[in-house]
Structure 1
Amino acid sequence: MLSALVYAISETVTARAWSTPVYSYSANYISDLGNPQCALYDGRTVCSPLHALMNWGFVAQGLLLACAVLLVGRVVRGRTRAVVLGIGAATTAGFVLTGATHSSPDAVAQGTLWLHYAGATMAILGGNVLAIVLSRQRRQLRIPRAVGVAGVVLGAAGIVAALTWLATFGVVPPGIPERTAVYAFVLWQLLVGGFLLHVTQPFRALLSRPSRADS
């Protein structure tokens, strides 16, 4: 849950800092918030005064997600545990890479733009796949069926939005499908994270026990 809150706060504060031009949630990419250069970039005027906040927000989101995955990994069992840890590691690496490398004119000139794109792809797809996988383990996590179903729906919606973004590139304002894909995962984090921490007392008891892999 903290991972999602860090992202939401970083994005909101960074976007509000834009003045010339005003940041557009539909026309601008999320990555524009982390662009360290004020310039005309890919047909958009980009100038993000608090770009460092957004980039550190990406990194913090990934590291906090890693902590959450390690905790949940103590609860799920069998092959699912390995799958969850693997997807979690890839998603974490994606967020960190997204924050450490930028989408900017310098990145294009230096040939490092692909690193940012790779990180964003890992973070978006990995996060939504993780939502689906963990939501299907609702019995092990002891969450209600409705919460599990919501997680699967959100994860699937995020993946569909990401694919739609690629399929409609240049036709639909890019911020719309991109944000749908990202917000689906963030909303799932808030939903499941908040529920596990504040509603499901048995989950805390499960964490206090050694996992089967540790015994």
Structure 2
Amino acid sequence: MLLEALTASRSEGYRYAYDTVSDLGVPTTSDTSWLMNVAFCVSAISVLAAGICSASLLGRRRWVYLGAIAAYSLGSVLVAVVHAGDGNAHIIGAVLAIGAGNVIALLVGTGVPTCPRWYSKGSVGFGLLGFVASGLLIAGVGPVGVMERASIYTFTCWELLTAAALGLAVARTKR
């Protein structure tokens, strides 16, 4: 989100409410569009690494989880290398990344019994909210930039929730 904000600040005429996150990765948008594409790739790699490391926590559902992790990572890389407006591969990448991100939150929220209740409920809530926002985006309800961000930022919020849960778990083990 920091690289998104930096890139947006350097993109003349960019409007959060009406322009998509992917628009920031188009080289003609600004001199810093490469930052947005790096952010997409870093997200793909970090989610892939974390997913592989945590897959065993999901038991029998780990293969579905790993499939969602792979879809998210592939989608994020497609968004980075095939720019907005350059064809169907970009749209497929965006659908994969957004949809799989919300599936990941739902799978973890419903499939890891050792997680604290607040974390499970938050994970499910963010996943469901992401799908509702995605439905509104597809239906053309509201400004595209707002609905797209609502679909994406739910996964970002889930990542932050996960970081908080892990931080609390580590702090408890040090006592």
Fold equivalence (TM over 0.5) = yes
In 1, Cα distance between equivalents of 2:6 and 2:148: 19
State yes or no: 1:31 paired with 2:3: no
Local SS of the residue matching 1:136: helix
What is residue 201 of structure 1 aligned with on the other side? Answer: 170
Distance in 1 (CA, whole Å) between partners of 2:150 and 2:109 is: 19
How is 1:174-189 mapped onto 2 (pairs within 5 angstroms)?
174-189=144-159
Question: Which amino acid in the other structure matches residue 200 of structure 1?
Answer: A
Question: How far off its partner does 1:203 sit?
Answer: 10
In structure 1, the gaps of 5 or more residues are 1-7, 38-46, 108-112, 205-215
1:151 equivalent to 2:120? Answer no
Q: Assess if the C-alpha contact under 8 Å between 1:59 and 1:100 holds in 2.
A: no
Is the aligned partner of 1:17 residue 2:17?
no
Name the CA shift for 1:203/1:125 in 2 (closer, same or farther; >3 Å): farther
The answer as to whether partners of 1:34 and 1:52 remain within 8 angstroms in 2 is yes
**1:1-215 map, 5 Å:** 8-18=1-11, 20-21=12-13, 23-37=14-28, 47-78=29-60, 80-104=61-85, 107=86, 113-139=87-113, 142-168=114-140, 172-196=142-166, 198-201=167-170
The 3 A distance-change label for structure 1 pair 203 and 136 is farther
How many matched pairs?
A: 173
- Give TM-score scaled by structure 2 length: 0.92
Aligned residue for 2:89, secondary structure, equals helix
Cα displacement string for residues 13-41 of structure 1 (whole angstroms, at most 9, x for unaligned residues): 111112x32x211011111101112xxxx
In the TM superposition, what whole-angstrom CA distance separates every residue of 1:40-66 from its partner, at most 9, and x where no partner exists? xxxxxxx32211110111011011100
SS at structure 1 position matched to 2:164: helix
Which amino acid counterpart does residue 165 of structure 1 have in structure 2? L
> Which amino acid in structure 2 is aligned with residue 183 of structure 1?
Y
**Identity of paired residues, percent?**
31
- By how many angstroms is 1:172 displaced? 2.2
Task: List per-residue Cα deviations over 1:97-152 (Å, max 9, x = no partner).
Answer: 11011014xx2xxxxx100000000000000011000111242xx32111111110
Deviation by residue 1:160-210 (Cα, 9 ceiling, x = unmatched) = 111111102xx62110110000000100011113311x1113999xxxxxx
Distance 1:179 1:33 in 2: 13
Alpha carbons of structure 1 residues 98 and 203: separation in structure 2 relative to 1, 3 Å: farther
Q: Is the CA contact (8 Å cut-off) linking 2:65 and 2:104 kept in structure 1?
A: yes
RMSD: 1.8
- Code of the aligned partner of 1:30: V
Alignment partners' CA distance in 2, 1:31 and 1:131 = 22
SS of the residue 2:45 aligns to: helix
Q: Which runs of 4+ in 1 moved over 4 A?
A: none
